[in-house]
Every structure is written in structure tokens, then in C-alpha cells.
Amino acid sequence: MSMQPHRWTPPPATPRARETRSTPEMPALRLLELPGRGPEDVVVAADGRLLTGIDDGAILAVDPATGAVEQIAHTGGRPLGLHVESDGALLICDAERGLLRLDKPGGTIEVLVAEVDGAALNFTSNVVADGDGTIYFSESSRRWPLKQWMGDIMEHSGTGRLLRRNPDGTVETLVDGLDFANGVVLAPDRSCVLVAETGAYRVTRYRLSGPQAGTCDRLVENLPGFPDNMLLGSDGLVWVSLAAPRNPLLDTLLPLPGILRQISWAIPERLQPKPARTVWAMAFDFDGALVHDLQREGTDYGMVTAAAEHDGALYLGSLSESAIAVTQVP
């Protein structure tokens, strides 16, 4: 695909973006090995097992104590973001097939949304649901597919969006023009829904109630890395995975004429700069205050795209690894 770069001046990276570990450092990791790569999102089911989807289309349930793995479904596509509904059903954002629902382990997969406004969903990313049947989900890019996700980051296309599927099945776009829309979190009081903008280093808040209902602002800006999936922890905090630290070369290229990024994109992939490996997660409250900042060097794990906190344990997913990583919140 030909690149059509959009110029953007990112905020200056903070000193934190250049550090490789937090203080205190993220505790040591324990790995739960999987029969495939890319557990891009991780959620905790009612029975305590971890649910994830891998790159061959399988949905897996993993016992965090024993590491036992069971395949409970296969989407026929590439599952990314997940959400467990109150009745035990599993919502699945499949990058290739759209928004899906698995009624029970080993059960039937239903396609809830495959297209919006007459156009097929291109890159369905992350999802959360309200108890009344309302579903909020993101589409990262309307131009670039998952396999070329870096193309959207470099192009800065601004074609991501936050969508809402209403209980009657109708779908509406709540926010358009997002820079690689990714993780989605619904506030416990239903006052707002949050969406991570990976390509803009920020978390955007869409107000659902109150005098500012229907408007957007920023919960967190100028993050030191690329935010990916977000999850509401059992501690009531918004846990944000950071897939990689800010890239100084990319930050330099984004404000410059687009031809420079077109040239960079034309270089063979094996010669292009790779995201720096790190293991990183942050947690914020709903006022945007940083509560936890946990990072360690990416020697044994990297490309963290999910951070699910449950009763003090922190479960990490990755777009590139073949395991779920487990650590503790200090």
C-alpha cells in the first residue's frame, strides 16, 4: 500500500521515555507458555482462568496456577481485544472478521458487527460492554491492516475511531479521526469511555453523561511510550500497556515532509528500525493521575500489548511472544 503521510508535531518526549526500568522495577516475570504466538489481549474469566487469542485464530483458556491450556474456540481470523460479559459470553475483536461473540466455551461464535456505514471493518481492535447490552469498540485504522500496523503509525493516518453498538444492534461512530485507536475502558459509573490513541501517545475520554456529554478531552497526554490495550483492574484503576517506548527517529520524522517517511517505508522490512523491547505497564485513576509505573528490560519478554490486574496479580499479553507473562503489583 502506498503511504500518504500526515504531518504531526508530537509533544517533546519526557525523560521517562529514555529510561529502561521503573523505580521500583517491575517484579520478575513468570511465563505461561502457549501453543502459538501473539496473545495480544488477556482477560480474566469468572472461573479465574485467563482468556486470550493467538495468531492462528484460536481462543485459549489458561490456568494461571498450573499453566494448563484449553482451546475454547476458533474465530477463523485473528482475535485481538476481548471482554467477558456478565453472562459469561466473550466479546472478541477480530482484526479480520469484526466484532464477534462467543456464547460459552466450545460454543457458537456470532458475528455482531462486520461493517459500519456500508464498509467492512478493517482492523477491529478492542472492546468493552455495559450491562445493558451496549458495546463500545475501537477500529485502529481504516487504511492499514493488522499485518501492516506500523504503516499506520508512520503515516499517522488519523483514521481510527471509537464505535458503539446499541442494544438494538445499530452501530454509531462516537469519535472519528483517532490516531490508531486501541484499548477501550468504560468507567464504572458509566460517565465516560476511554480509548487509547497509540499513534498520539495519549488516552482520550469521551463523556457519556453530565453537561459535557458527547464531547472529548484527554485523560492522559504525552505518554512515554505507545499505549496499547487498556483494562479496568479489580483495583478500580485503568491499566495501560505500553508496547514500546517513544521512538526518537519517528518523532523527528513526523513533523517533516512526508517524503522522508515514504522513503523509510520503502526500505526492506528487515532493515527498518524495530520497536525497542521493554516490559511496561502503567495504571491511572479516572482523574488521569499516575498510580503505578512498572517497567523492566525486555530481555525475556517484550511488545506488551495487554496488562490485566486481578487481585494484585498482573497478567501481560504480547503481540509477538508465545506466552502470557505473570508478575505482581508491588
Encode pLDDT of 75-118 as tens digits: 999 999 999 999 999 999 999 999 999 999 999 999 999 999 99
pLDDT, average across residues 216-242 = 98
Measured CA to CA, the distance from residue 310 to residue 162 in angstroms comes to 26
Q: Which pLDDT does position 270 carry in this prediction?
A: 78
Q: Pick the closest to residue 53 from 117, 133, 125, 135 (CA basis).
A: 125
Measured CA to CA, the distance from residue 101 to residue 82 in angstroms comes to 10
Q: Which pLDDT does position 269 carry in this prediction?
A: 79
Using CA atoms, how far residue 328 sits from 27, 283, 292, 294, in Å, is: 6, 13, 12, 10
Indicate the pTM of the whole model. Answer: 0.97
Q: Which pLDDT does position 274 carry in this prediction?
A: 78
How many helices (H) and strands (E) the chain has is answered by 3, 26
- 329 Cβ partners below 8 Å, 6+ apart? 235, 283, 292, 294, 309, 312, 313, 314
pLDDT, average across residues 284-292 = 98
- Look at residue 166 and tell me whether its pLDDT is greater than 90: yes
Is residue 198 a contact partner of residue 179, using CB atoms and an 8 Å limit?
A: yes
DSSP element (H, E) containing 263 = helix 259-266
Give the DSSP letter string of 134-177.
Answer: -EEEEE--SSS-GGGHHHHHHHT---EEEEEE-TTS-EEEEEEE
CB atoms under 10 Å from CB of 306, counted, come to 31
DSSP element (H, E) containing 248 = helix 248-253
Q: How confident is the model at residue 14 (pLDDT cuts 50, 70, 90)?
A: very high
Q: How confident is the model at residue 139 (pLDDT cuts 50, 70, 90)?
A: very high
> 12 — phi, psi (to 5°)?
-60, 135
Quickly name the fold that domain 15-328 has.
Answer: Neuraminidase (2.120.10)
Compute the mean pLDDT over every residue in the chain, rounded to the nearest whole number: 97
Half-sphere exposure of 19 (CA within 13 A, CB side): 15
